[in-house]
């Protein structure tokens, strides 16, 4: 299988892009080539004004079942450092448009870490999520100890990372790890419908809101409130603000242009 087919990208005409991990024979295990292809796919969407929301998914069996251990078993520390694989997940996290992870089956190890680099997680009711790295003598290395702790708190993160045992989608929802749980057969369509809904909204407003929420994790409250306030004030310079408010009073559907 060539590198180009490891990740499939579909630009739709409704403002949504679908990025699909495509190694079904190994449950979408994340080898270096797949990580690189994923980063390239997302980087290509960053500055596309036609794309206003992104869905990241795998297949019915697995979102991504973790790293490809064949590339780890003989690796030494210097080689691991030189790989700089943190760049690849950062390309997902840095996407200005909202990114929705549609999770069926397994989201384990690096698979859960890349899902947590997204903004909204929708999981099928039989999905399994976890950080099993300690079971093979390593640990999380792409956000499992950091994004997970910010999402669910110290004690749940300790349990998930130190036992290496996966948790069910309903439990993940209960502790705040996923946004929504739906029947397995409805995961992708639910994510796509949400992306379409977001894509119809004013993109500058959406991007500013996403940025402010992301800064809430590592910003003091006063600084975060200032950022939020300044972001709101900036939006008053947009044509979409005027269009949205006029459409509201005219009782018509607004036409947002991202300007």
Our answer to whether residue 50 is catalytic in this structure is no
178 membership: H or E segment, kind and range: none
Q: Does 71 qualify as catalytic in the annotation?
A: no
Written as six digits, the tokens of 256 are: 């947002």
Question: CA distances (Å), 188 to each of 20, 21, 195, 210, 227, in order?
Answer: 11, 13, 10, 22, 34
Taking each helix axis from N to C end, the angle separating 32-46 and 86-93, rounded to the nearest 10 degrees, works out to 30
- Could you give phi then psi for residue 50, rounded to 5 degrees? -80, -15
Q: Could you tell me the two tokens for 67?
A: 């790293």
Catalytic residue among 133, 186, 189, 228: 133
Cβ atoms of 21 and 7 within 8 Å: the answer is: yes
Give me the catalytic one of 61, 79, 86, 113. Answer: 113
The residue among 102, 111, 20 whose CA lies nearest residue 64 is 111
- CA 78 – CA 76 distance, rounded (Å): 6
Annotated catalytic sites, by residue? 113, 133
């Amino acid at each position: 299988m060539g590198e180009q087919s490891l990740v499939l990208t579909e630009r739709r005409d409704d403002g949504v892009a679908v990025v699909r991990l495509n190694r079904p024979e190994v449950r979408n295990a994340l080898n270096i080539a797949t990580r690189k292809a994923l980063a390239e796919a997302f980087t290509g969407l960053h500055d596309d004004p036609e794309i206003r929301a992104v869905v990241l998914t795998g297949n019915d069996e697995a979102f991504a079942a973790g790293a490809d251990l064949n590339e780890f078993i003989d690796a030494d520390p210097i080689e691991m450092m030189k790989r700089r694989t943190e760049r690849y997940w950062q390309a997902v996290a840095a996407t200005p448009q909202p990114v929705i992870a549609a999770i069926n089956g397994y989201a384990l190890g690096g698979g859960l870490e890349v899902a947590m680099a997204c903004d909204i997680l929708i999981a099928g009711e039989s999905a399994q999520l976890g950080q099993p790295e300690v079971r093979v003598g390593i640990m999380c290395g792409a956000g499992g100890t950091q994004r997970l702790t910010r999402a669910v708190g110290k004690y749940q993160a300790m349990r998930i990372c130190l036992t290496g045992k996966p948790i069910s989608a309903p439990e993940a929802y209960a502790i705040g790890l996923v946004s929504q749980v739906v029947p397995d057969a409805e995961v992708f369509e639910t994510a796509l419908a949400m992306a379409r809904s977001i894509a119809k909204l004013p993109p500058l407003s959406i991007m500013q809101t996403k940025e402010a929420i992301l800064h809430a994790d590592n910003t003091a409250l006063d600084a975060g409130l200032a950022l939020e306030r300044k972001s709101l004030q900036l939006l008053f310079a947009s044509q979409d603000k005027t269009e949205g408010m006029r459409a509201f009073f005219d009782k018509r559907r607004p036409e947002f242009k991202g300007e």
